[in-house]
Structure formats: C-alpha cells, structure tokens
Chains A and B, each alone.
Chain A
C-alpha cells in the first residue's frame, strides 16, 4: 500500500470510527434512560 493510500485509509478509519463511537454512546445512553424511565413510571403508577 502506498503512502497515499495509507492517508486515505486512516481518514476513512477515523471518520467511520468517530461516527460509530458517537452513535454507540448515544444509543447506550438512550437505552439506559428509557429503561430507568420505564421503571420509575411503572412504580409511580403502581
């Protein structure tokens, strides 16, 4: 692989990795909040 392809490959890895990390952390946080909220609301209604 030539130097130029290395630069291209690192760029794609950075951007895809970055977006995967953003999506992953947001999804985890969203799922966590949804779980806690569901628990609290059932308890309140009970």
Chain B
C-alpha cells in the first residue's frame, strides 16, 4: 500500500486516507449495516407502494408498474457507469489503489443492473409498443452500455498482471463514458420509439405525484442496495488481496526456512 507521506499536500491526499486497507475495512464495516438496513427499509416501503398502492396509468393500465423497476435500473446503469469513469480517472491519474479495486468490483454489478434494465424494458415494450425490441438510438445505446460493462468486467480479469488489467479497464471505461451523453440525449437528438425523459426539471415532472413518489422511493431504495452490494464486494476484494499477500509471505518464509 502506498500511503506515502509526501502525498499529503496533493489534491487527492484526503482521498488517500482511505487507501489504507485497514482503515477502509474499519470505516466501511461501520457504514455497511446502516446502508443495508436503509436499503431494505426503503425498498420494503417502495416496492409494495409501486406494486399495489399506486394508481394505474390512464392509458398504460397496470403495466406502468414495470416503470418503477425499469427507470431505477436505467438510472443505476448510467450513474454506476459515471462512477466507474470517475474511479478509472482516479486510478489512472492519482494511482489510487482502492480505485482499481472499486472499478473491478463495480462492473459485474453494473452489467447486472443494465441487463435488468434491458429485460424490464423489453417486458414493458411488448404490451405497450407492440414489440420486444427495436434498433432505435436509445435502445441501441443502452445495449452498447451493457457491452461496455461486460467488456470492462472481462478485460480487468483477462491479464495475469492485475495492474495491467486494471490499466486497460480504466482506459476502456473512460473511452466508453462517451456513450453516456449519447444514452441520455438519444431521445432528444434523434427520433426514437422510446419516449423522452419524464423528469427533466425538478419542479415540473410529467408524472402525477401519485406515480412520482413511489418511483423516487424505489430509485432511492435500489441505489442504496446497489451501493451496499458494491461496498460488500470491495470489502471482500480488499480482504482477498490481504490473504494473498499473507499466503505469499508465508510461502516465502517456508522457502527460506526450508
């Protein structure tokens, strides 16, 4: 672990305080139960609200309930990717040791939520639009986002030298970040089958409050759950790295002793 004191005056110095694995494990261990409990609590309110207690839509009927899953998954797919890009930039520029690990553990979870976004979108599109899938700009750019997540997850694990894999993955993640504005604005730049965003301005959403509030609750709940899962994975990865170091040291000792 490089927690050299000479870094103290650099802009990222405050972030490097968390680079110490012991400190990270201690702090995240304290945070995790709260994160998990609040995720469970918010989802325990949000999901029944979305599934039973919210009204149907005037034209989509009960099928609108898929939105309460599809939209949070889409937000997480994009927000998570923005997080991946930030972690990658930190890893490339400041060589933050935890940033590589976080990026590595983030991408499988991001790929999973993007897959869920595509699957729920398909299940929503069939009864509403009349098709499971079309190659319009929004759907295609989200499919590209899914492949970027998968590609990152595969690439960082493809090298024998984990540092080299992390470097390649970070470059892929940053290049792929160009896709984010394309996903976001595809419904405005080009005509698509997908409808434009409903939540454009905070004060004038195109959703009735009875539909908006359960949506926001579900979004907060899934975001907390996403964060808890990623944190759990990063903690596991930090401990696994420590285990490897200890085992290697033990093997070396056995060699010199023997």
Which residue of chain A is the closest to B239 with respect to CB atoms? Answer: A33
Given contacts A22-B229, A23-B225, A27-B232, contact A12 B239 (CB under 8 A): no
Q: Is the CB of B69 within 8 A of A15?
A: yes
Q: Is the CB of A8 within 8 A of B62?
A: yes
Q: Is the CB of B240 within 8 A of A33?
A: yes
Which residues of A are found within 8 Å of B73, using beta-carbon distances?
Answer: 15
Which residue of chain B is the closest to A40 with respect to CB atoms? Answer: B246
Total residues of chain B contacting the partner, CB 8 A = 36
Q: Is the CB of B239 within 8 A of A37?
A: yes
| B3 on the A face (CB < 8 A) | no
Count contacts between A and B, CB distance < 8 Å. 85
Instruction: Give CA–CA (A15, B232) in the complex, Å.
Output: 19
- Interface of B, secondary structure class, is helix
Residues of chain A from 17 to 37 with CB closer than 8 A to chain B in the complex: 18-19, 22-23, 26-27, 29-30, 32-34, 36-37
Digitize A1-21: 1 where CB-to-B-CB distance is under 8 Å, 0 elsewhere: 011110110111011101100
Which residues of A are found within 8 Å of B177, using beta-carbon distances?
Answer: none
Q: Is the CB of A23 within 8 A of B229?
A: yes
List residues of B whose CB falls within 8 A of some A CB: 47, 51, 61-63, 65-66, 69-70, 73, 109, 112-113, 115-116, 119-120, 123-124, 126-127, 222, 225, 228-229, 232-233, 235-236, 239-240, 242-243, 246-247, 250
Q: Mind listing 17 A-B residue pairs with CB under 8 Å?
A: A2-B62, A7-B63, A7-B126, A10-B123, A11-B66, A11-B119, A12-B69, A15-B73, A16-B47, A18-B113, A27-B232, A30-B232, A36-B243, A37-B242, A37-B246, A40-B243, A40-B250
